[in-house]
A and B are shown apart, each in its own frame.
Chain A
Amino acid sequence: MKKIHVIASAVTLTAVMSTSAFAGATLDEVKKKGFVQCGVSTGLPGFSSADEKGNWSGLDVDVCRAVAAAVFGDAAKVKYTPLTAKERFTALQSGEIDMLPRNTTWTLTRDTSLGLNFAGVNYYDGQGFMVTKSLGVKSALELDGASFCIQAGTTTELNLADYFRANNMKYTPVTFDSSDETVKAFDAGRCDALTSDQSQLYALRIKLGNPDGAIVLPEIISKEPLGPVVAQGDDEWFNIVRWSLFAMVNAEELGISSANVDEKKASTDPNIRRLLGLEGIKGSGLGLSDDWAVNIVKQVGNYGESFERNVGAGSSLKISRGLNALWNKGGLQYAPPIR
């Protein structure tokens, strides 16, 4: 075992050292090659998926496009590297990709031991419940004695056990091997409720025979903040990715959208003028052109637009904003001011 540890830490160390070797170079390199190399999921509804023409879209994909818009003024200058969950961090550590918005949960271990930095949170996910409407349940706390369809061997299973024990309730688990089997069983009425990450529940709901017959309950019993990741050691690039995301959130808060961004340039509100690069620090803080945020909003949209288009009301998933609403509307999306 000890040997394995030594090898593992040696590998991590090489990774950390090799990534820090090119501090500050990512932006130059990206500019030189003319595109952002972006690692995304090989397919997750609403987050990254390719249409029949091979165009990628989704909430994670929009982060890549926002960074490309900020750097090049053109959101299309992105090349996508579809990655599986197991190879995603290596691809970043080895410099194969420049950034990784791939529904990756921000945890202490990942942040500290892999030579990576989380640049923000573009989706606050968490484990939730889906029940049939006919059950007449409005909250997870009314689920005492219910049977649950669960995928075996996942953290979902453990979270569920913790939640029910903490609330002194009982449940009957009905376990399956794959998520497809789980949803089939729920559809066939073999259990009262289905539990999984909330963003997944909405995608699973579409697969039901009668999607409108099921509802997703508001409770979330675990924290899964998903965000874009960059390699450690290049603060300039880290800032660009982080503030591209913040610019989208700030734009929504200030009421700037892809439709009205040009009109808003005439605004006298200093907050809006600073975001649009008309006064204040402009683009110099990030080493970008002054209209970097204008390009993001114009080509990708603000956070709310991106959300509605990919996972919200404008998509087939119809996920409600919930935790992902702006901080002043009861959610958690909060961006530091641009000044």
Chain B
Amino acid sequence: MTVHTPHPDLPPPTLSVGVLGWLRSNLFSSPLHTLLSLFAIYLVYLTVPPIISWVFLDSTWVGDTREACSGTTGACWVFVKVRMNQFMYGFFPESEYWRINLAFGLLIVLAIPLFIKKFQHKGKLAIFILVFYPIITFQLFSGGNFGLTPVETSKWGGLSLTLILAGVGIVASLPIGIVLALGRRSEMPIVRSVCVVFIEFWRGVPLITVLFMSSVMLPLFLPEGTNFDKLLRAMIGIALFQSAYMAEVVRGGLAAIPKGQYEAAEALGLSYWKSMGLIILPQALKLVIPGIVNTFIALFKDTTLVLIIGLFDLLAIIQQAFADPDWLGFSIEGYVFAASIFWIFCFSMSRYSMALEKKLHTGHAR
């Protein structure tokens, strides 16, 4: 008697596994897909190799003058390299660069414990970062005390100015926005109408108008001789503008909290502020993290608008460099550099928000 031995399983057809199989099922599964895939590959072939050779293969990295780039067809990164300090620090005196480095270095050092799970005093540290750190940074930037040479705000610029504007906007707009959102849902008519008018006013005007008003009209109305710093005017404008948007984002979160939560808080006998602080806001803010981060990213990019009032943020200082007669004609390199810096910052912000959402995720998702 022969024992039946099952035939060993045949391997799947070579065309359905591995690279070939993936290609067949994803790119060439039907005539239409094949056509579209071929077209897409053709587009990639048309665009990517020239970009790579412009950015890397044919580009010039060494040298200090325009002459180093003569004869190359690729990008002239020498332009960016020569001006790198200016792009980062603006017109800040070179001997004082350490102050900016210290300010941002301090922020990184202070922020690290916030990411360590076992660290106990996160709340205290966060308050320190939000309240005292800005004061330290301001002292470092403007100087005047503790034996530091004063540096006027007109010398601030480059990426450091962009980060300051965005930082001030972010730090100021979140608390103001929360207060406004609570005010808008308040039952007190005066508080409510003040908040509604404030929010609708600032949402109704474009940021560019706000900046123009702050830099062109405001000085005319102030008494002669009161020179209220241009950067400060811009910062206030940006902070008020963004807090109106933030208020609406937070209000969305407040509206999403079921009525039962409010009633439960009341039933426990909690005061208004306690019920908001302990029950409603923690849930509401968690819900709207994507919206908040979205507003922050928009704010970060909106800071470039200050270039129309003659403040040299990253983009403006790069554009200013195009006017140097020794470096005419390198605008593409400059813009590509600016775009990549902005992309890095915005992309990291969005990644951070995704991580935060995951961490705070406590089973509300449907």
Contacts and interface: CB of A to CB of B under 8 A. Distances in A.
Interface string B324-356: 111011010000000000000000000000000
A206 B307 CA distance: 25
B86 A52 contact: yes
Residue among A50, A90, A180, A206 facing the most chain B CB atoms (10 A cut-off): A50
Residue among B86, B154, B155, B320 facing the most chain A CB atoms (10 A cut-off): B320
A18 B323 CA distance: 34
Contacts of B155: 54
B328 A316 contact: yes
B219 A94 contact: yes
A82 interface: yes
Interface string A92-131: 0111100000000000000000000000000000000000
Interface in B87-102: 90-91, 94
A84 B311 CA distance: 9
Interface string B215-240: 11101111011010000000000000
A207 B322 CA distance: 11
Interface stretch (A41-49, A168-176, A250-258, A298-306): A41-49
Contacts of B85: 52
Interface residues of B, number: 38
B204 to A, nearest CB: 19
B220 A86 contact: no
Contacts of A150: none
Given A54-B91, A81-B154, A42 B224 contact: no
B329 A49 contact: no
A93 B309 contact: no
A315 interface: yes
A315 B325 CA distance: 7
B304 interface: no
A11 B94 CA distance: 41
B133 interface: no
A50 B320 contact: yes
A327 interface: no
A42 B220 contact: no
A103 B308 CA distance: 17
Contacts of A163: none
**Interface residue tally on A, bucketed by range:** 35 or more
Given A84-B310, A315-B325, A52 B219 contact: no
B325 A49 contact: yes
Contact of A84 (B309, B323, B328): B309
Contacts of B220: 11, 14-15, 18, 90, 93-94
A21 B224 contact: yes
A53 interface: yes
Contact of A206 (B224, B308, B328): B328
A87 interface: yes
Interface in A21-42: 21-22, 41-42
B216 A87 contact: yes
B83 interface: yes
Nearest to A90: B216
A126 B142 CA distance: 43
A317 interface: yes
B308 A86 contact: yes
Nearest to B84: A52
A83 interface: yes
A83 B224 contact: no
Given A84-B309, A90-B219, A207 B86 contact: no
Contacts of B225: 95
Given A82-B310, A84-B310, A180-B331, A51 B224 contact: no
Contacts of A91: 219
A79 interface: yes
B91 A52 contact: no
A79 B119 CA distance: 48
Contacts of B325: 45-46, 49, 203, 206, 310-311, 315-317
Contacts of A203: 325, 328
B309 A87 contact: yes
Nearest to B322: A43
Given A95-B225, A206-B329, A45 B323 contact: yes
B212 interface: yes
A54 B324 CA distance: 11
A54 B82 CA distance: 12
A8 to B, nearest CB: 11
Interface string B54-96: 0000000000000000000000000000110110001100100
A79 B91 CA distance: 12
B319 interface: yes
B165 interface: no
Contacts of A310: 325
B251 to A, nearest CB: 35
Interface string B151-170: 01011000000000000000
B323 A81 contact: no
A44 B224 contact: no
A192 B333 CA distance: 28
A96 B219 contact: yes
B310 A49 contact: no
Contacts of B216: 86-87, 90
A18 B224 contact: yes
Given A42-B310, A91-B219, 13 more contacts: A15-B220, A18-B224, A45-B324, A50-B86, A52-B85, A79-B152, A83-B310, A84-B309, A90-B216, A90-B220, A315-B325, A316-B326, A317-B325
Interface of B: 82-83, 85-86, 90-91, 94, 152, 154-155, 212, 215-217, 219-222, 224-225, 227, 307-310, 312, 316, 319-326, 328-329, 331
14 contacts: A15-B220, A42-B319, A43-B320, A45-B324, A50-B91, A84-B309, A86-B308, A90-B215, A90-B217, A90-B219, A206-B325, A206-B329, A316-B325, A316-B326
**4 smallest A-B Cβ distances: which pairs?**
A43-B323, A94-B219, A207-B329, A43-B320
